[in-house]
Amino acid sequence: MKVFEIHGNTLSLALFIDVTNSKELKESMQAGKLNPEIPDVFPVLVAAYYRVLEKMRYL
């Protein structure tokens, strides 16, 4: 999992494919037991950045 700070907001990013045990994955992720790989986070960071900016405009 990757964690990023964007303008005081925290973005936690974890990607999964072919998931059949989502409940166990969620529990493991929340407990910090997973170390998943993210091929490229740049597009996700750009999208998150724009979402944070949009959120800030409507506060």
Query: What is the rounded average pLDDT for all residues in the chain?
Result: 82
Report the alpha-carbon distance of residue 11 to residue 2 in Å, rounded.
8
Can you give the residue range of the structural domain that contains 52?
2-57
Q: How does pLDDT run across 21-32, given as a tens digit for each residue?
A: 989 988 987 888
Alpha helix segments (H runs only) across 1-59: 22-30, 42-57
Q: Which residues of the chain have pLDDT under 70?
A: 36-39, 59
b/e per residue 21-42 (b: at least 16 CB within 10 A): eeeebeeeeeeeeeeeeeeeee
pLDDT at site 39: 66
Domain count along the chain: 1
User: For tokens 């907001």, what's the residue?
Assistant: 9
pTM for this entry: 0.44
pLDDT at site 28: 87
pLDDT at site 5: 86
